[in-house]
A and B are shown apart, each in its own frame.
Chain A
Amino acid sequence: MNRGPLLFLGILAAVAFSWVGLVLTSVIQYGALTPYYDPAEGKLYPDKPPGQAGQGRLVYEDLGCAACHTQQVRRPGFGADEERGWGTRQSVARDYLYEPRVLLGSLRTGPDLRNIGARQTSAEWHYLHLYDPQLTSPTSIMPPFRFLFEYRKVVGQPSPLALKLPADYARRHGLDRPGYELVPTPRVEALVAYLLALNDPYTFPEARPYVAPAKKGGA
């Protein structure tokens, strides 16, 4: 192994081997996945997310939510994802077709969020939870995102999005000044729109769980 060119060729071959075998093959095989056309409903799945949700995804990325939350449901029988209500079926590649940045995540310090839009349909809950997770989930270790909200003077009509805090919490944190309200900033409005849109309701054929056929003859 004293010849430079041979050494280089060998190293190149090693890294090219995995790139071709794993990456290139995958790009060819399922990088070209198309939406699935459901004949019964006559439409294509997955749905494209609404515009504000797209902006909310950018807020999700910049705040690093993917550091604690995953967005991938494992198949029934592998872990307890389905039992916890995180999804009715496994997440498949087609689900992420329209996502410019696939936010699978790698840690579940917090619950999986792939179908949070189906589980938690209340925007108000999300605003309270993001402002201070202790309000809705005591003992949670999720950090508060108070900087996404604004405590400001009511001008004209109170905002319909103003947070309704419990009286003693508001008192303890000095948030009960008369004529003032705690409102979400546009960034967290977009983020909540994104969270409410996170839902994979359609079950593609490849996502249905596989049950091995019964063995013929005796056990």
Chain B
Amino acid sequence: MPAESSPNPRLDPAGASDEQIQEVHAILRREKPEPTEGYSPLPLLLLGLMSACILFSAIYLGRYSGGFDPLVYDEHVLPGMQGAAAPVVLDPATLGKRVFTTNCIVCHQTTGLGLPGIYPPLAGSEWAQGPEDRIIRIVLDGLSGPITVKGGQFNNAMPTFGAMLKDEQIADVLTYVRSEWGNKAPPVSPDKVKEIRAAVADRTGPWSPAELLKIP
């Protein structure tokens, strides 16, 4: 089993001097023998653990695989059971804040302070607390043109949200804006949003502040 010396002179130990052999042996002589395996039996506890793992995995795979159907994404679906898509119900205050956090904070910020020179603030804003007819229009069709808010000049473009948000969502977010950060203005109702949406249905393009100021 041990190796015979190979014909390669570089590997042939007889070709090395006594000193070299000594120093090579020194490193190797102090080495422990090559590793071997013992044959202790498997502990019973491990056997128990393995059985538990196999049991758990098998049950999990059976129960949570949705019948191995490629169109089932929810592991709770049991094949053969009926399920339905139910809408999630939320209270207007939470929904309003959620709509705001999702859509408005990129520009108006969570503090409602906007960005000086770029995006107007909503906190303490006379526009936000003003006539609801104006701000519903802004949310539905967008705003473009020079506008003064709390003494600051802004000239940017606000995109439209009419297609993306439902009447309830627009009402909820405007109500949220009108009651947050110290704002005190009456809430906006979904019916009002519906009414305005129908009234401006033919409108294409954003509103300008000048036009909106004409609305009482």
A and B touch in the complex (CB under 8 A): yes
Identify the A interface with B (CB < 8 A): 26, 29-30, 33, 75-76, 83-85, 90, 92-93, 118-122, 124-125, 128, 135-138, 164, 166-168, 205-213
**Are A92 and B118 neighbours in the complex by a CB distance under 8 Å?**
no
The 8 Å CB contact of B159, one of A121, A135, A205, A213, is: A121
Among B11-19, B95-103, B132-140, B184-192, the stretch in contact with A: B95-103
Q: List 19 A-B contacts (CB under 8 A).
A: A30-B70, A85-B103, A92-B73, A93-B70, A121-B159, A121-B160, A121-B164, A124-B156, A168-B117, A206-B73, A208-B85, A209-B74, A209-B85, A209-B86, A211-B84, A211-B86, A212-B76, A213-B82, A213-B84
Given contacts A29-B70, A85-B99, A209-B74, 14 further A-B contacts (CB under 8 A): A26-B70, A83-B98, A120-B106, A121-B164, A122-B159, A125-B107, A128-B118, A166-B115, A167-B117, A207-B73, A210-B83, A211-B83, A211-B84, A212-B81
Query: Which residues of B are found within 8 Å of A164, using beta-carbon distances?
Result: 118, 156
Q: Is the interface of A mostly helix, strand, loop or mixed?
A: loop
The 8 Å CB contact of B106, one of A29, A84, A136, A205, is: A136
**Are A206 and B71 neighbours in the complex by a CB distance under 8 Å?**
yes
Query: Which residues of A are found within 8 Å of B83, using beta-carbon distances?
Result: 210-213
Measured in the bound complex, the distance between the Cα atoms of B164 and A118 in whole Å is: 7
Given contacts A84-B101, A136-B115, contact A76 B70 (CB under 8 A): no
Interface flag for B77 (CB, 8 Å): yes
Q: How distant is B198 from chain A, measured CB to nearest CB, in Å? A: 23
Chain B positions 165 through 185: 1 when the CB is less than 8 Å from some CB of chain A, otherwise 0: 000000000000000000000
**Are B74 and A84 neighbours in the complex by a CB distance under 8 Å?**
no
Nearest neighbor of B100 in chain A, beta-carbon distance: A85
Identify the B interface with A (CB < 8 A): 70-74, 76-77, 81-86, 88, 98-99, 101-103, 106-107, 115-118, 156-157, 159-160, 164
Measured in the bound complex, the distance between the Cα atoms of B157 and A97 in whole Å is: 35
Q: How distant is B202 from chain A, measured CB to nearest CB, in Å? A: 21
Measured in the bound complex, the distance between the Cα atoms of B109 and A135 in whole Å is: 12
Query: Which residues of A are found within 8 Å of B106, using beta-carbon distances?
Result: 120, 125, 136-137
Query: Which residues of B are found within 8 Å of A85, using beta-carbon distances?
Result: 98-99, 101-103
Given contacts A166-B115, A168-B117, contact A211 B157 (CB under 8 A): no
Given contacts A85-B101, A136-B115, A166-B118, contact A213 B81 (CB under 8 A): yes
**Are A136 and B107 neighbours in the complex by a CB distance under 8 Å?**
yes
Measured in the bound complex, the distance between the Cα atoms of B86 and A119 in whole Å is: 24
**Are A122 and B157 neighbours in the complex by a CB distance under 8 Å?**
yes
**Are A84 and B115 neighbours in the complex by a CB distance under 8 Å?**
no
Q: How distant is A137 from chain B, measured CB to nearest CB, in Å? A: 7
**Are B101 and A166 neighbours in the complex by a CB distance under 8 Å?**
no
**Are B73 and A166 neighbours in the complex by a CB distance under 8 Å?**
no
Nearest neighbor of B164 in chain A, beta-carbon distance: A118
The 8 Å CB contact of A211, one of B85, B103, B117, is: B85
**Are A84 and B160 neighbours in the complex by a CB distance under 8 Å?**
no
Nearest neighbor of A211 in chain B, beta-carbon distance: B86
Query: Which residues of A are found within 8 Å of B101, using beta-carbon distances?
Result: 84-85
The 8 Å CB contact of A206, one of B72, B99, B103, is: B72
**Are A210 and B157 neighbours in the complex by a CB distance under 8 Å?**
no
